[in-house]
Chain A
């Protein structure tokens, strides 16, 4: 894998836009799809990085958005998972309209702050709000593909069972503790968490602060800031907590 930012003079700059062919669209939930892409000259990525995606209309109009990469560096195709924002312009197209054989452009990978490599070790504590699970899934897929035995815990907050991304795969991840909390509607007979992530839930689920876990939090801005604030209050080292906010990105 090429190292992003390596100084080979022949390599195309990472900032260049590359054509990407959609090879498969997986409808993950009623509101989210995963696009599997073949990118010409893709230099490889690290788990947690993202890509900028650009769409060009027939009339030349262009729109650009940033999406987390959900696939592991080891995977054959680049995967991004897109959640539909109803008043959006790009996300409804990517979730509902795009199909195999269509083209988009991608630039990247970008980001070096919110990344995890098996060499970084564990314990790993991942906290996701909704579709914020995507870059964390890249980390868990990387962990599995690289045969890492780093201790890993995922705490995932979802509104309702329909909203959980990668649900089948989450059940089969070996050696990963997965805790889901439902904030609006839990499955019938559910005995797990059914509330917003709060300080006591974090205290129960997270590896002990003494063990100095690497913490990655991804989700909507308010969710991320609340979780990060609670973790610091619980005694976790702020320098080990890395966050990625989705914000209201305008779709």
Chain B
């Protein structure tokens, strides 16, 4: 039996999913945890993908940072666990 410790992945594993949500390569974005404030790349957060949805957790405090589920052809995101998100800005002048 696989233990949940062995099933834990990192943010890289959901790069495809995150690209659907953020329309950019999000694993290099920096995210801070709304619970404990620690920050790091999304590529380095802990991911639990073996569930009805996908859960990203803070590697420092294990609280939920983001959750995603595919529901009736829609991708639902809960970002309440995010403190701040820091993304590379678009180089395009607008």
Within the complex, what minimum Cβ distance (angstroms) separates B37 from chain A? 17
Q: Does A161 contact B (CB under 8 A)?
A: no
Residues of A210-249 at the interface with B, using a CB-CB cut-off of 8 Å, are 220-222, 242-249
What separation, in Å, do the CA atoms of A13 and B19 have in the docked complex?
Answer: 9
Size of interface on A: residues with Cβ below 8 Å to B = 29
Q: Does A192 contact B (CB under 8 A)?
A: no
Q: Which of B7, B10, B28 makes the CB contact (< 8 A) with A243?
A: B10
Size of interface on B: residues with Cβ below 8 Å to A = 29
Contacts known (A14-B19, A113-B41); A247 close to B25, Cβ less than 8 A: no
Q: Are A244 and B12 in contact (CB under 8 A)?
A: yes
Interface of A is mostly: loop
Residues of B1-54 at the interface with A, using a CB-CB cut-off of 8 Å, are 2, 5-13, 15-16, 18-20, 23-25, 27-28, 41-44, 49-50
What separation, in Å, do the CA atoms of A108 and B19 have in the docked complex?
Answer: 9
Within the complex, what minimum Cβ distance (angstroms) separates A244 from chain B? 5
CB-CB < 8 A to A244: which residues of B? Answer: 10, 12-13
Interface residues of B (CB under 8 A from A): 2, 5-13, 15-16, 18-20, 23-25, 27-28, 41-44, 49-50, 90-92
Interface residues of A (CB under 8 A from B): 4-5, 7, 13-15, 49-50, 52, 66, 107-108, 110-114, 220-222, 242-250
Q: List 18 A-B contacts (CB under 8 A).
A: A5-B25, A13-B23, A15-B20, A107-B16, A110-B19, A112-B25, A112-B28, A113-B11, A113-B28, A113-B42, A221-B8, A222-B5, A243-B10, A245-B13, A247-B6, A247-B8, A247-B49, A248-B7
